[in-house]
Amino acid sequence: MLDQNCNFTPLKHKLKEQLTDITGHLTKMIVHLDDDSSCLLGELHLVRTKFMEAESISSTYYLNCFLFPFTSKYQEIARSIYHLAQKKRGALIVIQREDHLDSLMTPGIPLSAEITSPLLESIFVPGSPLHDGAVLVRKDMIISAANVLPLTSKTYGDRKLGTRHRAAIGLSEMCDALVLVVSEETGKTSFCLKGTLYPLSISSP
């Protein structure tokens, strides 16, 4: 899935350090497990926090690797996703890769503007005319906004998916585009590739 030329070595080193630290804490907990005078709740809470930090580092690494072959503005995109998530602003951003997308979505409003984090964030301000629908990104440009994507027909048991998530899955089932989603209910972020939705936790810019 990853481009073989993807090289974000500092992030990989940071992730290795974090996982090594977690391993040390887990080993310490196992050693003290038979000590009835030792309470592991504090260590468990610490390990959980460190796992969340590792997930954030890993998500940032993979997102950068997925994006960088197709846009040099991957840091601007990641920054905007982080800010939108912090504000719980729903967002749907389509990153065009190799496949053409014109026939797969209902076109919205043309923009043809260079990607910046402030511009992406302003598009998804609640109540703005561009807020509903998806932004289409091609290379380093925001091509259009308020595009309507096809919805997936898949069901996920008791799991309820909002319209943005169903749209992200629906489009990515039909092409190689990467689709980023921010939930306005929870602020949680995810990305969709080849019909599969992955959790995303971006580090603070």
Q: Is residue 35 part of a domain?
A: yes
Q: Which of 19, 44, 67 is the last residue of a domain?
A: 67
Q: Is residue 16 part of a domain?
A: yes
Q: Give 5's contacts (C-beta < 8 A, 6+ positions apart).
A: 69
Of all residues in the chain, the percent with pLDDT exceeding 70 is 94
Q: Are residues 121 and 176 in the same domain?
A: yes
Residue 49 CA to residue 146 CA, distance in Å, equals 37
Q: Is residue 190 part of a domain?
A: yes
Q: Are residues 61 and 108 in the same domain?
A: no
Q: Are residues 54 and 145 in the same domain?
A: no
Q: Are residues 129 and 83 in the same domain?
A: yes
Per-residue DSSP letters for 53-108?
A: HHHHHHHHHHHHHHHTTT-TTHHHHHHHHHHHHHTT--EEEEEE-SS--GGGSB--
Q: Is residue 97 part of a domain?
A: yes
Q: Are residues 92 and 146 in the same domain?
A: yes
**CB-neighbour burial class of residue 169 (10 A; exposed 0-12, middle 13-18, buried 19+):** buried
Q: Is residue 57 part of a domain?
A: yes
Structure tokens at 34: 């038979």
Q: Are residues 121 and 47 in the same domain?
A: no
pLDDT tens per residue, range 63-121? 888 888 999 999 999 999 999 999 999 999 999 999 999 999 999 999 999 999 999 99
Neighbours of 200 (CB within 10 A): 24
Q: Are residues 53 and 94 in the same domain?
A: no
**CB-neighbour burial class of residue 166 (10 A; exposed 0-12, middle 13-18, buried 19+):** buried
Of 26-30, 84-88, 154-158, the one with minimum mean pLDDT is: 154-158
Q: Are residues 13 and 102 in the same domain?
A: no
Can you give the CATH number for the domain in which 22 is found?
A: 1.10.287
Q: Is residue 26 part of a domain?
A: yes
pLDDT, position 167: 97
Q: Which of 67, 88, 108 is the last residue of a domain?
A: 67
- Using CA atoms, how far residue 192 sits from 159, 196, 197, in Å, is 16, 5, 4
Higher pLDDT, 145 or 205: 145
Whether the CB-CB separation of 19 and 55 falls below 8 Å is answered with no
Of all residues in the chain, the percent with pLDDT exceeding 90 is 62
Our count of domains for the chain comes to: 2
Domain of residue 188 covers 71-200
The one-letter amino acid code at 191 reads F
Q: Is residue 2 part of a domain?
A: no
